[in-house]
Amino acid sequence: MKISTIVKAGLSFAALSAFAGTAMAAEPGAPMDLTPLGKGLGAGLAAGLAVMGGAPGIGRIGGSAVEAIARQPEAAQQIGSNMILTAALVEGATLFAVVVGLLAIFLI
pLDDT at 49: 84
Quick one: average pLDDT of 4-21?
60
Whether residues 28 and 52 share a domain: the answer is no
- Residue 62: how many CB atoms within 10 A of its CB? 14
Q: How confident is the model at residue 2 (pLDDT cuts 50, 70, 90)?
A: low
pLDDT score for 24: 56
86: domain range?
34-107
Same domain, yes or no, for 53 and 102?
Answer: yes
- Provide mean pLDDT across the span 41-59: 85
CB hemisphere CA count around 5 (13 angstroms) = 2
Q: Higher model confidence: residue 100 or residue 68? A: 68
How many independent structural domains does the chain possess?
Answer: 2
CA distance 85 to 69: 16
Residues 91 and 81 in one domain: yes
Q: Are residues 55 and 73 in the same domain?
A: yes
Residue 106 backbone phi and psi in degrees, to 5: -90, -25
73/51 same-domain check: yes
Average pLDDT along the chain: 80
Residues in the chain: 108
- Sign of the alpha-carbon dihedral angle for 39, 45, 51, 54: negative
